[in-house]
Amino acid sequence: MTYCLNLDCPRDKRQNPPGTKYCLNCGSKLLLKDLYAATEPLRDGGFGRTFRAVNHGKFEELCVIKQLSPPLEFQRKPTHFKKYVRLFEQEARRLYELKHPQIPQLISYFEEDGRLYLVQEFIDGNNLKDELEKYGAYSETKTRELLLDLLPVLNFVHERNVIHRDIKPENVIRRNRDRKFVLIDFGVSKQVVAEAPTKAGTKLGTPGYAALEQRHGRAVPASDLYSLGVTCIRLLTSVMPYLDIYGDIHDDLYDPLEGRWLWREALPKGTKISQDLSQILDKLIQEYVKDRYKSATEVLEVIKPPIVVVPGLVNLQQATVLSPSLPTQPVTGTPPVAVNLESEKGIDYSHLERLLAAKNWRGADEETSVKMLEAMEQVSTGYLSEEDIRKFPVKDLETIDQLWVRYSHRRFGFSVQKNLWVKLGGKPGVYDATVWEKFGDRVGWRVNGEWVYYTELNFTSKAMPGHLPGGTVFGWEGGVLCGVLGLGGIWFLLSRRDL
């Protein structure tokens, strides 16, 4: 269906058959710029409406249309509206320059029929509020994952003098393709409203998430950190602000009389939060800017997980990993020497190292896939061809493998997988169905003769040797292949002599 964007068209009559150029009810033109067609509304907001859409100029690619609604301050006088358009264009250009894999790319911005529009990349995934309702409250591990994934994005944004202004669970999407967190709904309209001729009655940010200074029109980078901190405690507790029948905001997570958050008291029974994470969250959500972290980098420095040594192995000269039925490589009490994070393509592997050091095996598995795609500039395609694998830079392959080997105590890594592949009779670059099935059985990718789904992989330290990385090889998540090499394509990678 094609959805009419005319605000005067009755809501129940805005749907039109596919291919319709003009609304059958009001006669309005349906294709913006003769390219973009809205298909269904996603949500309404104080600054406009958002629609799922199709880009007919690019192979029917999905996109998002944002129709902005100028505040009354700008509508009252033509000169004010012209200023709004000028500011809109300035802010849209700034958003266009925010080229980051965890920020939706701006495709186009324009004015048409007296209305302003943004067209952005469509992110396929669920926002964190929907995820919370589906799976329940966050754990400490998931909260750390969120912080470690989004803080570098905020650092990138703030370094370019942009403030998001509206961080909340609804504005963070976990992308299905790589499970990364994507920050959406950047405040182009919010930035413009901040320059309104008169700001009386204008609310910037979302009640229950906006920092004190932001509520008074003085947003700074630390305001985004505050909102991120509040997002974390709401995900940990499942307690959201709500409106009563009179339209007043209520928040059971905050005590306005004492001026403090009550998030510890609201944690689900049995939830344990370490002291260091508690202190980090407390500092993020301080009322006054002077008491908060000043930058995302400052938070990353304190949340960086330490190197974890497996208990019981520290004083041993040599030990054997669990899983006595399988031959394994020896594990020493001290991990191998530190890994130099070298890259021939300028790829930053520090986040992968942090995830591995924290034993966040799933996060590290997904990060490995992302970094391999980035190294070969194949993020948009979502997979590596045989040619890509043969040309994959040696330094990058060694860095990824050595990180996995180091932090898993030689249990996981491409080189571990290659040794098993060769022992089972696998030959470099040659597909052998029998060996492939034996290999799947040996590393735990097959159970009772059936290949497992990605969601069924064992993301723990007790997984079979060679079980991880797994997402680089195959990753059926909800029926979508999200692996880098494609199902069964590991024999190309394991033919590399550098492993």
Quote the tokens at residue 265.
């008291």
Neighbours of 276 (CB within 10 A): 13
Alpha helices (runs of H) in 344-471, residue ranges in sequence order:
350-357, 361-375, 386-390, 394-407, 414-423, 433-443
Catalytic residue among 149, 166, 178, 365: 166
Could you tell me how many helices (H) and strands (E) the chain has, helices first?
16, 19
Q: 99-119 in b/e burial notation, b at 16+ Cβ within 10 A?
A: eeebbbebbbbeeeeebbbbb
- 169 preceded by a cis bond (ω within 30 of 0): no
- Give 417: exposed, middle or buried? Use CB within 10 Å, 0-12, 13-18, 19+: buried
Return the bridge partners of 29, or none.
Answer: 22
Q: 172 in helix, strand or coil?
A: strand
| Residue position matching structure tokens 């000043």 | 294
Distances (CA, A) of 184 to 125, 128, 167, 283: 12, 12, 9, 24
Q: How far apart are CA 51 and CA 57, in angstroms?
A: 17
Sign of CA dihedral 71, 75, 80, 86: positive
Instruction: Say whether 34 is catalytic.
Output: no
Q: How far apart are CA 322 and CA 152, in angstroms?
A: 36
Active site residues: 166
